Copies of this chain bind each other. A is one copy, B any other.
Amino acid sequence: MIIKGKATSLDIAHLAGVSQPTVSRALRGSPSVNPETRRRIMAIARELNYKVDKNASNLRAQQSGTLALLFFEDPTPDDSLINPFFHSMLGSITRACARRGYDLLVSFQQLSTNWHADFGDTHKADGIILLGYGDYLESESKLQRLVAQGTHFVRWGAALPDEPGVSIGCDNFQGGHDITAHLLNRGRCRIAFLGHASDHYPEFFERYRGYAGALRKARLKPDPALQADAITTEQSGYQATCALLAAGRPFDALFAASDLIALGAMKALREHGRRIPEDVAVAGFDDIAMAGLTQPGLSTVQQDTKQAGEVLVDSLIRLILREPVESRNLPVKLVLRGSTATG
């Protein structure tokens, strides 16, 4: 095909067999065009020596082509400072950015009090991905400020209707429900819950609600004496379990709101001579790499970190391109190992 004069996006659309708006979206790197189509469009544009129209490219031109990933600095026994669950998201976020043609800056949320000024005003990054937040109620005003400032951001968290901005999370309720139903199926009926169950920790709270829902379905009442607060560290899980054991209320299973909590719980149970799973079945949440290494292996609720990273990046780019984006929960699945085997 010979094109007279300068090639237009309509010419590309014609050759690629797509609509002109699809060509525009592809040229500005929108995730709404599938990668195969985008590659075809880009190849044709290059072949035609097509120069992106100034107006169309204006949006992109004002941008840095960079996303900022801000980890929440967590207490960790080693010096890693990052919750191991987020480690496995880094790889998929990095790859997703590269696939979309964005660079990725990494920093800690605690290193600044004004991310908007750091990344937005200075054109260092077009948007922010937030991983982790500690106490949610303490972080909420910061999120509200980001919304008010018009900063593009997505966060990993509970995708609940009243949270500011766009949140991507996993189906915490379903995960809590399914692992509890599994424990009930294994004949356990005095199931303790380890983890904060309050608005301060909305993801844990949803897992707790799923747990309570499964108990009620089995005509059991959640026993408040079998819920022990814990944040997501081994040490906290260890202490919560010691406290439960000291309180003396019997239990035959533990559902920990995260794998790290479960690891600490397993240590406490062993030290108190309780056999896993014979005396106490143990389940966690996350499926971090360590969950497969304990003896017995830890049954848990797997969050799909690969998909999570991709959805976070795609959602943020859509926000930047002013396309519609909604908070959403990704599906979870049970990974069953020895810690909940029939005792």
Q: Which residues of A contact B (CB under 8 A)?
A: 66, 69, 71, 73, 77-82, 84, 87-88, 90-92, 94-95, 98, 103-108, 111, 124, 263, 289-290, 293-295, 305-306
Q: Cβ of A95 and Cβ of B78 under 8 Å apart?
A: no
Beyond A78-B88, A94-B108, 6 additional pairs, beta carbon < 8 A? A78-B305, A79-B306, A84-B289, A95-B108, A104-B106, A293-B293
Q: Cβ of B103 and Cβ of A108 under 8 Å apart?
A: no
Q: Cβ of B80 and Cβ of A88 under 8 Å apart?
A: yes
Q: Which residue of B lies closest to A302 (CB)?
A: B78
Q: Cβ of B293 and Cβ of A79 under 8 Å apart?
A: no
Query: Among B80, B263, B295, which residue has its beta carbon within 8 angstroms of that of A90?
Result: B80
Interfacial chain B residues near A71, Cβ < 8 Å: 91, 94
Interfacial chain B residues near A107, Cβ < 8 Å: 94, 98, 103-104
Say yes or no: A289-B78 contact (C-beta < 8 A), given A104-B107, A295-B294. Answer: yes
Say yes or no: A106-B94 contact (C-beta < 8 A), given A87-B84, A290-B289, A290-B290. Answer: yes
Interface centre among A69, A73, A295 (most CB of B within 10 A): A295
Q: Cβ of A105 and Cβ of B105 under 8 Å apart?
A: yes
Say yes or no: A82-B90 contact (C-beta < 8 A), given A104-B105, A106-B106, A107-B104. Answer: yes
Q: Give 14 A-B contacts (CB < 8 Å), ordered by A residue.
A: A77-B289, A78-B289, A80-B88, A81-B94, A84-B289, A90-B106, A95-B111, A98-B107, A98-B108, A103-B105, A104-B107, A105-B105, A106-B106, A295-B295
Complex: A306 Cα to B111 Cα, angstroms: 17
Q: Cβ of A90 and Cβ of B90 under 8 Å apart?
A: yes
Complex: A79 Cα to B305 Cα, angstroms: 7
